[in-house]
Structure 1
Amino acid sequence: MIPITMIPRSEVQKIEKPGWVLVFGRRKTGKTYMLRHMVRHENYFFVTRGGLILEHEEQLLYPVFEERIKNLLLKDITVVVDEFQRLPEKFLDLLHYHSPDSRAKLILVGSSFSVARKLMERRSPLLGIVRPVKVGLIRPVDLIRGLFKLGISPELLLRIAPYIRDPWIMRFVNPGKFRRSDVIEAIRFNVPALIGEVFSEEDRVLTDRYELIIRALSLGNSTPGEVAGYISGFIERGLRSQDVKSYLANLLRMGIASRTQLAGRKRYLYSIESPLIDLFYYLDTKLGYYEIDVPMEELENLASVKEGTYFERFVVDLIASLYGARVQRSLDPEIDGILVKKGRIVAAIEVKMGDIAREEIIKFLERAPKEGEKIVVAREGPSLEGVSLLTHRDILSMAMNFEQRF
């Protein structure tokens, strides 16, 4: 088990800036833990699904909570209200009314992107009063800085890091003795429950179509056309790629899917954002392991197919954050990552989990764009003119020395 306190969160700096804040993101991304243990506060309220409000050992009904909030807002303190969307709608009007006279810093926390969107709409009582801060998967730089303290090898650290970006897995894995089987066992029943909760929080139903789209993404179908083609084999009336785009847009808003722009084009490649969610659906689609007991050796062999993709994506995202750049991809020719800053290509990246040969680097140079730095990431490799070779240890050093500004 990894102590979650070891992993810093860059979002804390944004949250602690002056003014009222709305912290939002899908479930199980570590919002509650971060706010309880990493953000200074004097009062912390948690709203249960039944509408009961908890503070320490107290259980408050809404009228009592309302009076307490009115008084607290007049003090120079920080107040957190977690799962505030479960409160009556008049709570937002109350906040709007008292905001001009408030001396307190208020932090509202919600596990729903739809709630965040409603608070930013034109008719929202809190429009222009709260500042939104999104909390998603743990950022690569934060993760490296936390795991580095464990003293494990750079190769192992970068191998396990993609899984641990979803913080709930930390209680199920031992980084020093990492076993892929621990991850496979943990996601078997936790991921379906998580997806169900995400859809419930967004007031959406996990229909067969959504389920098929998620499975299609896990199998590597990355364009709306490919996803539509996969789904057409399972439903009577097939979907057009345009129809699929609306479903993908919802999955993006819910924090389930992500997208990367194709280099030089206004098209995107879609994938499942969390490696844990992706791996569950991949294994279940291939072997049906949610309902059927499959030998662990068979599951591990199949899971290993995905590990290189997770490693590649994590390393590219990490380097992009160090460069302050956006990630684009190219399929023809195939480039693992293209970094773009202010509309200009600043680097092209080739990623290997193991060693890389001179011939592979030369082939990368032949297909890489002429603009920008050429970066090769590998465990070991030869030095070539015009190429920045970064070993796994070099990557960790860069992350540890990086100063992030907000």
Structure 2
Amino acid sequence: MRIIRRRECAEFAKIQSWTLVYGRRKVGKTTLLKNCVKSDLYVLIGYGGSTAVVGEDFVAVESAVREVGLFLKRGGVAVIDEFQRLPPKYWDLLASWAPSGVLIAAGSSYGIVHRVFDKSSPLLGLFAPVHVDIIAYEDVLAQVRDPVLSILWRDPWVIPHVSGVGELTERARELALVARGLIGEVFAEEERELTETYWRAILLVAEGYWKSTDVAGALGLKGGLASASSILSKLAKMGILRAIPTLGRERYYAVRSPALSLILYAEAKYHISDLGTTPTDLPLGREAQFTVGEMLANYFGGTQRYSPREDIDVVLTRGRRRTWAFEVKLGPFTREEAREAVAKLRKVAEKVGLVSLSETPPDYGDLSIGPRELYNMAVELAGKYGVL
């Protein structure tokens, strides 16, 4: 499996105080901890919280916790992975060792953040939180150079299974089974059940139902809009969905991981798990739109927004100013398409740009970005964050 260097590594290497690392399952937290932190002790809490792995040995969790204490008292660095599985009865003991040494607790649950920072928690005030998301597009692109493959490889668990969009399409059925298992595991770590309602909501978003009102109507919930909004908000907090602000009051809900989004779209649209069919068309353009938009927001500074009324792919704002608007395409722009796109974009923002993942667009706007320009921007950003 190829390891993608990522910006979080530099941040992890500098950790010098008690830190709570959290994020969705399979986003690379353990890889970062093992590759970027010079720890004296690494402990993995097992399912159920009664046993732990220390080195290559299975031990009782109490023994593992006490070993953590020994290293902390000596001023060492200890890592407790899958911290959400550690029974809270040990939290007082951990708190008694603060601020000795450096304790890094990593959890695959967003609920652990609320429990650790709850006003009644003995660990309150001892940890600084650090969130780990999927890999930044520019970090992948700067190393892989392929602007399309880099979209898929943002989610680390996909890397050993997919070498391109064609392979993702061919293996969609088996990947759909993995995807449901992954999401089920996310729910299990949150001590929730992946109910049929939540699963349907996720599939609806993957299929393109981005507004909470549309999801509410499709689900037919008794609570209507309020229930749908609550479900989507919880899924966003769990790292499964992402809420993208628009130029209006709505939020555009999307599956956070581009690869997961495409796999779930295939499941929703083609029922690949049941029928064993191969999807004929996947909305890769949609994923390119929001992924490239994230990188452009990082590059130019500002908030990434979507404009549903005008159907403009990317709008960057600073305060109330609309600084940039972009049209993003997988394929090339014809001259006519470029002129029409620029005319539409100029109605929305101060500056406008065209982005193509296949070739540099005609020079009608303020900026034309093709694969080479995208790569150069990615290298600049990755270098800024110490990735290269």
**Which letter does structure 2 place at the counterpart of 1:35?**
L
Distance 1:81 1:187, change over 3 A: same
**Taking structure 1 as reference, are residues 211 and 180 closer, same or farther at Cα in structure 2, changes over 3 Å only?**
closer
What's the CA shift string for 1:269-316, capped at 9, x where partnerless?
A: 11111223322332222222112222x3xx2x222xx11111222111
Deviations 1:151-202 (CA, angstroms, capped at 9, x unpaired): xxxxxx1111222111111111236x96333552541321111111111111
Q: Distance in 1 between matches of 2:228 and 2:29?
A: 30
- Matched with 1:44 is 42
Amino acid at match of 2:352: K
Q: Aligned with 1:99: secondary structure?
A: coil
Work out whether 1:383 is the aligned partner of 2:363: yes
Q: 1:257 aligns with which of 207, 228, 241?
A: 241
Deviation for aligned residue 1:255:
0.7
On the 8 A contact 1:257/1:271 being kept in 2, the answer is yes
Q: Secondary structure of the equivalent of 1:302?
A: coil
Superimposed CA distance per residue, residues 95-150 of structure 1 (whole angstroms, 9 cap, x where no aligned partner): 222114x0x211101110001121122222222211111111111122122323xx
Choose the corresponding residue for 1:173, options 155, 158, 162.
Answer: 162
**Native 8 Å contact 2:173 2:272 kept in 1:** no
Query: Does the CA contact (< 8 Å) of 2:315 and 2:349 recur in 1?
Result: no
Q: Residues 77 and 103 of structure 2 are in contact (CA less than 8 Å); yes or no, is this contact kept in structure 1?
A: yes
- In structure 2, stretches of 5+ residues that fail to align are none
Question: Match of 2:352, SS?
Answer: strand
Whether the 8 Å contact between 2:46 and 2:85 is mirrored in structure 1 is yes
Task: Specify which of 160, 163, 170 is matched with residue 149 of structure 2.
Answer: 160
Kept in 1: contact 2:244–2:304 (CA 8 A): yes
* Alignment length (residue pairs): 380
2:351 is aligned to: 373
Map of 1:2-401 to 2, 5 A cutoff?
A: 2-4=1-3, 7-15=4-12, 16-50=14-48, 51-100=50-99, 102=100, 104-148=101-145, 157-174=146-163, 179-232=167-220, 238-263=222-247, 265-294=248-277, 296=278, 299=279, 301-303=280-282, 306-368=283-345, 369=347, 371-378=349-356, 379-384=359-364, 386-401=365-380
State TM-score, norm by structure 2.
0.92
Identity across the alignment (%): 28
The alpha carbon displacement at 1:217 in A equals 0.8
Structure 1 unaligned blocks of 5 or more: 149-156
The alignment partner of 1:136 has SS state of coil
In structure 1, give the amino acid aligned to 2:369. L
Which amino acid is 2:375 matched to?
L
